């Protein structure tokens, strides 16, 4: 517990500040319900106007949840953390409005030469939409 606390705390007290050192492979979380087509779990809108940008300065919970899902995807891809998998499952499930079973997967986009290529890093098992139904 103490070792874990130290490992979590140190990056905040001795930050590296290496923002955007490289533009790494970028994750998207995709889902499908009842074996349907894959779609992005939290798609970004087509456009965000100035008024909405201003409002988001003080109230931006959905966008911050999206960014949290990006962090979780990177953690899951990096070291397969159970916490990241469980949190992604919870957040994807929370966004569902119907169906009985669903799956989610992590798709990464990255540059290869002049092309942007897409690869699947993780695919979940088929899961129940209702949390307590097996």
Least CB distance to another protein at residue 101 (A): 22
Min separation Cβ 38 and another protein, Å: 17
| For another protein, the closer CB: 67 or 120 | 67
Given a contact cutoff of 8 angstroms between Cβ atoms, the answer to whether 126 and 101 are in contact is yes
Strands 26-33 and 127-128: unpaired
Closest separation in Å from C-beta 90 to another protein: 8
Tokens of 22: 């490289």
Q: State the nearest-atom distance from the C-beta of 106 to another protein, in Å.
A: 12
> Which residues of the chain form contacts with another protein (CB under 8 A)?
4-5, 8-9, 11-13, 15-23, 26-28, 44-48, 53, 56-68, 70-71, 75, 81, 83-84, 87, 90, 94, 109-111, 116
Say which residues have a Cβ less than 8 Å from residue 108's Cβ, sequence separation at least 6: 25, 26, 27, 28, 77, 118, 119, 120, 121
Q: Which is nearer to another protein, 62 or 128 (CB)?
A: 62
Contact 29, 106 (CB under 8 A): yes
């Amino acid at each position: 517990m103490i070792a874990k606390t130290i490992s979590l705390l140190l990056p905040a007290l001795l930050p590296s500040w290496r923002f955007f050192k490289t533009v790494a492979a970028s994750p998207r979380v995709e889902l499908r319900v009842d074996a349907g087509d894959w779609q992005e779990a939290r798609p970004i809108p087509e456009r965000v106007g100035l008024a909405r940008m201003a409002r988001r300065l003080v109230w931006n919970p959905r966008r911050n949840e999206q960014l949290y899902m990006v962090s979780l995807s990177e953690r899951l891809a990096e070291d397969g953390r159970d916490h990241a998998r469980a949190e992604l499952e919870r957040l994807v499930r929370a966004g569902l409005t119907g169906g009985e079973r669903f799956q989610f997967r992590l798709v990464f986009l990255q540059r290869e030469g002049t092309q942007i290529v897409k690869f699947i890093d993780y695919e979940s098992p088929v899961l129940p939409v209702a949390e307590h139904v097996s």
